[in-house]
Chain A
């Protein structure tokens, strides 16, 4: 059993980890950059050490300073949260080299899963389905044959590149050769490497992931799946568990695949195996995240577990807390990521100050926050400032509770996506479970801010005007009998 912990993170996840650690009686240590002084995670820990860096994010990426802080504070273990150093194998190794417990998988597993090519190969070996693909090795003709064998539609892209350069989608077999040649020449031009790569293109894919826990001794359990199909700018904004609609047999196969992969990796601690699910029911390995996910609370709420507690117990040398049979799903949970950004301007990150922050409450409502009222919101960190998680007996109840809680959640002083999230989850297509990763784009027309009529606009400006002293005084500070006589003229 661990007796102390340093949380090498900030914001809501640092708070999340610290709360469980405190509840388990661990001595807790926070680290923070000057920009985060006064942030909730700093005061939540028993002690807090400042990290120094010009750029605030650099502080939380500075492995040496963090390990030094752990040693200085006498913390026996380090929890990396997510992001920053969470999937840095060298960091995990350095933590362990310093004689501390790294709360996460083995460094080599982190490195393995962090390398996409090796991870794919490892998954293939484990018998986990991969999207059919073909890589041009020597012969262009051989590549064309192999690509044609994958079936349509196809995504062709530069083997060496990214960012959409040289990428095209082939819907018609007749176009394949011409598209492949174009892709080759673009690949040559942009990356000085003419090799191209073809992969089954999944239209309207869903993002399904499986939560796993391993003890590092070959034992792995899964805690069912989560659906994270609603994304913007390739980042998840709404997640739920279980998946919106998933046949039991398919769900079993997906979970089984995840367990297979984790078992083969001799996985230790919490991890997530991500899949792409095609409309035809085929699913393909995407990647494995070797850490606690942002969206882990939806799993906690339907399984009735505390994943951070499980992480700490596993790191403390205890075995898996549950057998697979003991884990079951009750109800449905939805998470909405609250981000300071402007949905009307392509989700551009917003800055300001959280002048008013009122968190929602109610049955099945959980708000994992990481800022305090009055805190500045700068561009230095990720725009996500908290997560609203709501559980219901079924999906509809979970959605209803989340819509209501988003209505209650008040954040004033900085642009945010709270209203937008409510429109997303209250959207008929979302309620119908018609999800895919292009959901936000597909429904952009109906997800915009509502157009207010004159009376509704009047209500808004009246509410605002009564918040302006000039106007408020005029409304309320007119003495009698003037106030009663009103606009009389003789």
Chain B
């Protein structure tokens, strides 16, 4: 019987062709795409990688270089600042 971690679907399976046979490698699944906290749409400019891969990127490659970058979409951010301007 295979090990318990191979019986569940937490890890994704990758078929690898070797010289003699094809085997299955078990790899960690990528995290979900980032979404806007207000509108719920997928964030652009945010890489979908495992934490160890994101660690290798520079700070500017991890999220957009604007306030609320990587948290809110640009539309949502604009509406936040518009409200702020109109309240002043």
A in complex with B: no
